[in-house]
Chain A
Amino acid sequence: MANAIFTTAPARGTRRQRASSRRLQLASARGIVSPIVLSSRRGKCVYWVVFGVAALVCSAVFLFPMFWAVTGALRSTTDLDSPTVSFLPHEWVFSNYSNAWSQLDLFQYFKNTVIQAGGAWVLEIVLLTLAGFALSKLRPRFGAALLGGFLVSMFIPGQAIVVSTYLVAKDLPFIHTNLLDNPVAIWLPAVASAFNLFILKRFFDQLPDELLEAADIDGAGVARKLWSIVIPMARPVMAVVSIFAFVAVWQSYLWPLMVFTDPNKYPLSVAVTQISYSAPLNWSLAADVLASVPLLVMFVIFQRNIIGGLSGATTG
């Protein structure tokens, strides 16, 4: 884990011990440039110049396009088509957003997306937690072979075999059910996420066996152990997987494009492309902005979970 150095630093001890552990942290947290060089007058000067340039470039490259999109959706069509640049809209047309919402049926697409992403999230977090726990702590026969199979899944190019997957969803083996135009066609494939399974399994691997053996002695069954011991401890990692699962479905495009033929069932990602062909540009831009807002708000709220999860999942 990336933050292990910081989180496991001893909180107790004498002042001298604490001071020395803090010095150790500083030594560990350094980068290529030596702290001694950084604290020199010239080093400070160079540091602040680099810092300023980095802040400017970051804002220009990542924030400015978003600003441009939000204000672009507030411009009039003549303003958008005008070949002369103006930093702010000539007139602020707030009705673009309300028109996009009411005229383009955005509420329906939001509802569809929430049903698809929400259902996938619930199913994925429940099924993958159970499977990850069983593979990590119950260690059944052929568990290693199964893990190998899940690992292979991580390298299967999912988009490349999409037509084959479509034909499976159209006519499920044995039960011959057609899942097309049904949110279930989004939910079930979402569960097959090897990446999220391994995040959960990796976390359960770190839980000491003694914890569960103590529960065994107290006579707790599997359900009790999961509900009262494992899940309360796994809450942070389950939050990370939840976010990844929800965002993945909200963002997916090719699969819902193929699965849904009924426009009333389109998720936002498919709907906004259709809208871009037919609606005026400023309404279409407003729809684009609105379709992104929930994910951006979610990110700002859960930023520490997401960034921490991304670091923890891939290193350590």
Chain B
Amino acid sequence: MAFAVAPVRPPKGLPRAQAGSSGRRSLSNNLKAYVLIIPALVCFALFSWYPTIKVFFLAFEKTSFSVGGNHFGGLVNYRTLMADPQFWPAWRNTFAFTGIALVIGFGLPFFVAVLLNELRHMKQAFRVVIYLPVMIPPVVTDLLWKWFYTQPSGLFDQALGAAHLPQSGWYQSSNVALISIVLITTWANMGGTALIYLAALQNIPGQLYEAAELDGASLWQRFRYVTVSQTRFVLLMLMLFQIIATMQEFNEVNVITGGGPGSSTITVLYLIYKYFDQYYNYGGACLLSAMLVVFLGIFSASFLRLTRNHG
């Protein structure tokens, strides 16, 4: 019965329900919107989306600076990487760095934020002071800390010596080099994360704490079941962003250790830079990049999926 399914049209003269007064979704409106969007869109396409796709093609190209340029090389970059004795140390160090940074650097800013949230005096002064290191250019921070770590005239060894404590080799000792770097990045980035947590903590309604108190919750229980559970979303998001950032550790390694001592601080990103800067092997660098992108993509997707219900 074909005639029965004819759509019911509104009588002429009545406005359609969806059309706004500004004629949204009209052709000229779309045109105007895209004129405004396209310049930014081009920048995103050129310097964010396109390089991400391109890296997977470059990973299979053999880099050549002679006439004809790069050409398809199949698994040649893969074989180069597998034969590189620094390949596995780079991954091992990157994961170790990420892990140590989680242990040392993830809880600390949250703890600081919770503490600052309890203080009733000089709030702005505290915020300014903990945020100051975030404003210092990271390279400058690295150079300063390199000087603090210097033996035996650096600040830390002098302080330890004055307190009659054993001195450490810091970044010159392969056992503690990674930890020395984590200390720097934690010091430098803590302010930003702490202030984000602080804002989240201030959004917790005080009534929740009062209700918990009426139910007889202890200090620890109020922290665990009100503070942490109310800020869980921010905590998880910042954990993900911290992992993504620390998996791309480069600055401190390049400025301070140069990957050493031995290969104890070579990270994946430093190795990428080495393939680019010293070996002129862009294909090898891009294959490493592609591996990192794939790993972080899978990791981020599963992280978001697993924690979806905890938001």
| Residue positions of A touching B, CB distance < 8 A | 2, 5, 26-34, 38, 47, 50-51, 54-55, 58-59, 61-63, 65-66, 68-69, 72, 80-85, 127-128, 130-131, 133-135, 138-141, 143, 146, 149-150, 152-153, 155-169, 172-173, 188-189, 191-192, 194, 197, 209, 212-213, 216-217, 222, 247, 250-251, 253-254, 258, 268-270, 272-273, 276, 281, 284-285, 288, 291-292, 295-296, 298-300, 303, 306-307, 310-312, 314-316
Contacts known (A161-B52, A254-B273); A188 close to B43, Cβ less than 8 A: yes
Say yes or no: A272 contacts B136, CB within 8 Å: no
Say yes or no: B143 contacts A288, CB within 8 Å: yes
Within 8 A of A (CB), among B90-137: 114-122, 124, 126-133, 135-137
CB within 8 A of B140: which of A168, A288, A315? A288
A-B contact count, CB below 8 Å?
313
Distance to closest chain B CB from A230 (angstroms): 11
Residues in A neighbouring B128, C-beta threshold 8 A: 299-300, 303, 307
Within 8 A of A (CB), among B268-286: 268-269, 272-273, 275-277, 282, 285-286
Say yes or no: B114 contacts A273, CB within 8 Å: no
CB closest chain-A residue, reference B23: A216
Distance to closest chain B CB from A289 (angstroms): 8
Say yes or no: B137 contacts A268, CB within 8 Å: yes
Residues in B neighbouring A47, C-beta threshold 8 A: 118, 120
CB within 8 A of B203: which of A143, A306, A316? A316
Does B36 make an interface contact (CB < 8 A)?
yes
8 additional A-B pairs beyond A84-B158, A254-B273, beta carbons within 8 Å, are A34-B209, A51-B119, A149-B44, A161-B55, A164-B55, A168-B47, A296-B136, A311-B195
Convert B222-259 into 0s and 1s, putting 1 for each residue whose CB lies closer than 8 angstroms to a CB of A: 11001100000010000000001001101100110000
Residues in B neighbouring A295, C-beta threshold 8 A: 135-137
CB closest chain-A residue, reference B57: A164
Cα A134 to Cα B116 with chains together (Å): 39
CB within 8 A of B138: which of A2, A213, A222, A253? A253
Convert B21-57 into 0s and 1s, putting 1 for each residue whose CB lies closer than 8 angstroms to a CB of A: 1101100011011101101110110111111101100
Residues in A neighbouring B153, C-beta threshold 8 A: 80-83
Residues in A neighbouring B21, C-beta threshold 8 A: 213, 216-217
Cα A210 to Cα B203 with chains together (Å): 29
Say yes or no: A157 contacts B144, CB within 8 Å: no
Does B75 make an interface contact (CB < 8 A)?
no
Say yes or no: B296 contacts A160, CB within 8 Å: yes
CB within 8 A of B139: which of A58, A59, A269? A269
Looking at chain B's contact residues, is the secondary structure mostly helix, strand, loop, or mixed? helix
Does B78 make an interface contact (CB < 8 A)?
no
Contacts known (A157-B293, A311-B198); A130 close to B36, Cβ less than 8 A: yes
Residues in B neighbouring A250, C-beta threshold 8 A: 137
CB within 8 A of A164: which of B54, B200, B201, B210? B54
Distance to closest chain B CB from A212 (angstroms): 7
Say yes or no: A58 contacts B248, CB within 8 Å: no
11 contacts between A and B (CB under 8 A): A32-B222, A32-B223, A33-B118, A134-B32, A138-B29, A155-B296, A217-B21, A253-B139, A272-B143, A292-B140, A299-B132
Contacts known (A2-B203, A188-B46); A272 close to B139, Cβ less than 8 A: yes
Residues in A neighbouring B273, C-beta threshold 8 A: 162, 254
Contacts known (A55-B122, A156-B48, A310-B199); A31 close to B43, Cβ less than 8 A: no
Does B169 make an interface contact (CB < 8 A)?
no
Say yes or no: B55 contacts A2, CB within 8 Å: no
CB within 8 A of B137: which of A291, A311, A315? A291
Does B66 make an interface contact (CB < 8 A)?
no
Residues in A neighbouring B143, C-beta threshold 8 A: 272-273, 276, 284-285, 288
Cα A55 to Cα B227 with chains together (Å): 23
Contacts known (A295-B137, A310-B192); A168 close to B50, Cβ less than 8 A: yes
